[in-house]
């Protein structure tokens, strides 16, 4: 579980509630009509802005905020280098059974393409097209939450304007001005809270996750094409390690000498 998301949401709400309760009653900030205007109104505006397919995809993407699977870049490089060793010893066809053990569908597809003898330029083209459409899907989900972050404060202001109009309609009763002004401003509070504690952070975290996945896929493409080109596994390893920081490189478990490789092939 992505604890940072859970801690951020719960911690943010607790700190806000503590700050509110320290200066007045917490229930004074609970107003169902204001919630209907802010959350309900912005939700309906999102329905106008996006089709149901984007809604469903965006809801499914929320699992990545709480249950994101870590991107194991080092593990992917180790797997690719091992594929390179096997291909060098036994040929590309030997990878057909090996890739069935991989858990990554993108890597499986790429290796299967080179096993099938697909032209290198076509392999790159196919994988980069899939990568481009993957990025586009991620961008649509990110823009969904960015749009909601923009609309929620707007509907909060609409609620405030409605409240002010209602307050002005009863201006002759001075005793109601203060309470009605407070209720009118609550919608702005709800809109700002939804935008800045939920939607904008969600868009940011999803964008970061997308960047990590795109980076991993780029490494896979380079590794797959290097295997197809018949490059020495040691060279493949060094090429892929160039994508990593020095601390990440030290954690790799692929450091084997060419002498070990030749000894295994002879055996």
pLDDT of residue 244: 84
Asked whether residue 194 carries a pLDDT value surpassing 60, the answer given is: yes
What span, in angstroms and rounded, lies between the C-alpha atoms of 13 and 10? 5
pLDDT of residue 1: 65
Say how far residue 42 (Cα) sits from the centre of its chain: 23
- Tokens 């009118």 sit on residue: 184
- Percentage, residues of the chain above pLDDT 90: 54
22-34 pLDDT, tens digit per residue, is 888 888 888 898 9
pLDDT of residue 253: 64
* Tokens coding 221: 């493409």
- Tokens 């493949």 sit on residue: 236
Asked whether residue 259 carries a pLDDT value surpassing 60, the answer given is: no
151-177 pLDDT, tens digit per residue, is 999 999 999 998 888 888 877 777 777
Q: What is the mean pLDDT of residues 261-265?
A: 43
Q: What is the mean pLDDT of residues 45-49?
A: 94
- Tokens 């059974």 sit on residue: 97
Asked whether residue 222 carries a pLDDT value surpassing 90, the answer given is: yes
pLDDT of residue 170: 76
pLDDT of residue 267: 41
pLDDT of residue 264: 47
* Tokens coding 198: 């939920």
Query: Integer distance in angstroms from the first to the last C-alpha of the chain?
Result: 45
Q: What is the mean pLDDT of residues 227-238?
A: 91
Q: Which phi and psi angles does 118 have, rounded to 5°? A: -70, 145
pLDDT of residue 174: 74
66-91 pLDDT, tens digit per residue, is 887 778 888 899 899 999 999 999 88
pTM: 0.80
- The lowest-confidence range among 13-17, 174-178, 212-216, 218-222 is 174-178
Task: Check residue 262 and give left, alpha or beta (phi > 0: left; psi -120 to 50: alpha).
Answer: alpha
Asked whether residue 180 carries a pLDDT value surpassing 80, the answer given is: no
Asked whether residue 256 carries a pLDDT value surpassing 90, the answer given is: no
pLDDT of residue 265: 44
Q: What is the mean pLDDT of residues 22-51?
A: 90
What span, in angstroms and rounded, lies between the C-alpha atoms of 148 and 71? 28
Q: How many Cα atoms occupy the beta-carbon half-sphere of 263 within 13 Å?
A: 5
CB-CB contact of 153 with 188 (8 Å): yes
- Tokens 């719960």 sit on residue: 10
């Amino acid at each position: 579980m992505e604890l940072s998301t859970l801690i951020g949401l719960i911690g943010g709400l607790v700190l806000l509630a503590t700050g509110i309760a320290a200066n007045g009653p917490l229930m004074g900030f609970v107003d169902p009509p204001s919630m209907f205007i802010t959350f309900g109104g912005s939700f309906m505006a999102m329905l106008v802005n996006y089709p149901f397919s984007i809604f469903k995809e965006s809801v499914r993407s929320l699992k990545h905020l709480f249950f994101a699977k870590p991107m194991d870049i080092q593990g992917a490089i180790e797997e690719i280098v091992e594929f390179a060793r096997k291909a060098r010893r036994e040929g590309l066809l030997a990878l057909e059974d090996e890739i069935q053990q991989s858990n990554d569908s993108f890597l499986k597809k790429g290796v299967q393409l080179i096993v099938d003898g697909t032209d290198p330029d076509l392999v790159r083209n196919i994988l980069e097209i899939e990568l481009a459409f993957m990025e586009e899907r991620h961008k649509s989900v990110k823009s969904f939450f960015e749009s909601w972050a923009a609309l929620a404060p707007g509907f909060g202001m609409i609620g405030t304007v409605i409240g002010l109009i209602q307050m002005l309609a009863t201006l002759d009763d001075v005793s109601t001005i203060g309470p009605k002004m407070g209720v009118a401003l609550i919608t702005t509070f709800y809109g700002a809270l939804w935008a800045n504690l939920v939607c904008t952070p969600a868009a940011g975290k999803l964008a970061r996750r997308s960047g990590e996945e795109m980076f991993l896929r780029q490494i896979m493409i380079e590794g797959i094409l290097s295997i197809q080109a018949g490059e020495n596994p040691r060279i493949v390893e060094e090429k892929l390690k160039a994508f990593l920081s020095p601390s990440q490189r030290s954690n790799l478990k692929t450091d084997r000498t060419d002498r070990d490789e030749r000894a295994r092939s002879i055996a």
